[in-house]
Chains A and B, each alone.
Chain A
Amino acid sequence: KAGVTQTPRYLIKTRGQQVTLSCSPISGHRSVSWYQQTPGQGLQFLFEYFSETQRNKGNFPGRFSGRQFSNSRSEMNVSTLELGDSALYLCASSAMGGTEAFFGQGTRLTVV
């Protein structure tokens, strides 16, 4: 079974721009979650999608949004980028929402 795939692996953007990150879950997994990982804050939950619906949302500003497609692939969008958005963004898929999560390699976003 192919693992969770995230693209791109690395991104460099300037402040004010927007960015879209992509995640392909493990085949058959319907839940996709996004996390922001930083050295100071650890793993912070962004949102979770299940069958194209956002079921859970973390405490991030509205600049952070996402969606899930009918094939369970998910995208995350960050608009009006700020320097503080620089982080590793991880996607995880699971069969159900709160069960074992399988992580992708992440997308390293650097905002300059």
Chain B
Amino acid sequence: AQRVTQPEKLLSVFKGAPVELKCNYSYSGSPELFWYVQYSRQRLQLLLRHISRESIKGFTADLNKGETSFHLKKPFAQEEDSAMYYCALGNRDDKIIFGKGTRLHILP
């Protein structure tokens, strides 16, 4: 069964400190992994996807198939990073399954 697990509901990090939002998944095929972000009063939007292998707003995420993880990382947190982050798993012609989300709170 498809499943996405985000173990932390809330993560508080000081500005300038490194950030790591954890995501583990279970899927028997070849999934597409995404990170979505929802800033206050804004719509949910795609932050990055594993096939792009790009850095968006300083965030990166590496797919580790051995550990079935797709953790989101940023070396230096900024206050504007405070938001709700969702890890998601999808496959072509199938639905996208989201984790329960992690609220990232950047402390000044």
B43 near A104: Cβ-Cβ < 8 Å: yes
Query: Which residues on B sit within 8 Å (CB–CB) of A92?
Result: 44, 96
The tally of residues in A whose CB lies under 8 Å from a CB in B reads 24
The tally of residues in B whose CB lies under 8 Å from a CB in A reads 21
Cα–Cα distance between A99 and B70 once the two chains are bound (Å):
17
Question: Which residues, 51 to 66 on B, are CB-close (under 8 Å) to A?
Answer: none
Q: Which residue from chain B places its CB closest to the CB of A42 in the assembled complex?
A: B100
Instruction: Tell yes or no: A28 within 8 A of B by CB.
Output: no
Query: Which residues on A sit within 8 Å (CB–CB) of B83?
Result: none
Q: How many contacting A-B pairs (Cβ < 8 A)? A: 63
Q: Given A42-B86, A43-B86, A106-B43, A101–B101 Cβ distance below 8 Å?
A: no
Cα–Cα distance between A43 and B97 once the two chains are bound (Å):
8
Instruction: Tell yes or no: B105 within 8 A of A by CB.
Output: no
Query: Which residues on A sit within 8 Å (CB–CB) of B98?
Result: 35, 42-43, 45
Nearest-neighbour CB distance to chain B for A91, whole angstroms, equals 10
Query: Which residues on A sit within 8 Å (CB–CB) of B92?
Result: 96-99
Cα–Cα distance between A35 and B98 once the two chains are bound (Å):
10
Cα–Cα distance between A45 and B96 once the two chains are bound (Å):
8
Cα–Cα distance between A14 and B81 once the two chains are bound (Å):
38
Query: Which residues on A sit within 8 Å (CB–CB) of B95?
Result: 33, 45, 48, 55-56, 97-98
Supplied contacts A35-B98, A41-B100, 16 more A-B pairs, CB within 8 Å: A33-B96, A43-B86, A43-B101, A45-B96, A45-B98, A48-B95, A55-B94, A56-B95, A94-B96, A97-B94, A97-B96, A98-B32, A99-B32, A100-B34, A100-B46, A101-B88
7 A-B residue pairs with CB within 8 Å: A45-B95, A92-B96, A99-B90, A100-B46, A100-B49, A101-B96, A102-B46
